[in-house]
Amino acid sequence: MTPLAFQELHNGCRDKVLAGILGYVGNRSEAEEVTASAFATAFRKRNSFRRDALFFTWVYRIALNEAHASLRRRPTVSLDAMEGPTPEALVQPDLMDSALDRANCCRKLRMALKCLPSKYRQALVDHFVRGYSVKQAAKLRRIPVGTVLSRLFNGKKLLRRAWAVELGQEKGQWHGHK
């Protein structure tokens, strides 16, 4: 693959790779770093790219591997070990509440997704998290477009039920609506 061909492919899918990695690592600057590193690795190994896969899929897998490595290298910090002034995020209750609410919501969503059969979970994640079009998801999973659409429809229905259970709501309620 020529550098010019690689540049065109890069321009076509960089934003989608970044969005997927941002959803995974939860930090914009880290997501940009991981994405840049993934494309650098992909460029170095561009001649090993097999044309039977989508370029996006190949680069996204590289980016996920980079993200996993980045998370493993990330040091863990105990709040008990903190010295000096209290960080701003812990002092301002609104920021802390917002961060806790987001983390709690993400945890509940992950739990709700785990309740779904894998074929529905895969369809939802491919389309809504990774940003694949229905056609791309069908090609990736080697299934008809209609099957992807059906799995998205049924997956959303199942996810609503699982979400309601996670929130302790009655069946059929969604964010307080009947």
Give CA torsion, residues 31, 56, 113, 121, to 10 deg.
180
Contacts 24+ apart (CB under 8 A), 85-93: none
User: What domains are there in the chain, each with its CATH number?
Assistant: 3-73 (1.10.1740.10), 90-167 (1.10.10.10)
Look at the pTM and tell me if it is higher than 0.85: no
Question: Residues, the chain, total?
Answer: 178
| Cα 70–chain centre separation | 15
pLDDT in tens, 159-174: 888 877 766 654 444 4
User: Mean pLDDT, the chain, as a whole number?
Assistant: 78
pLDDT in tens, 33-78: 888 988 898 888 888 887 777 888 888 888 888 888 877 776 665 5
Three-state secondary-structure class, residue 174? strand
Three-state secondary-structure class, residue 130? coil
pLDDT in tens, 85-127: 656 555 555 555 666 667 777 777 888 888 889 899 888 888 8
**126: buried, middle or exposed (CB in 10 Å: 19+, 13-18, 0-12)?**
buried
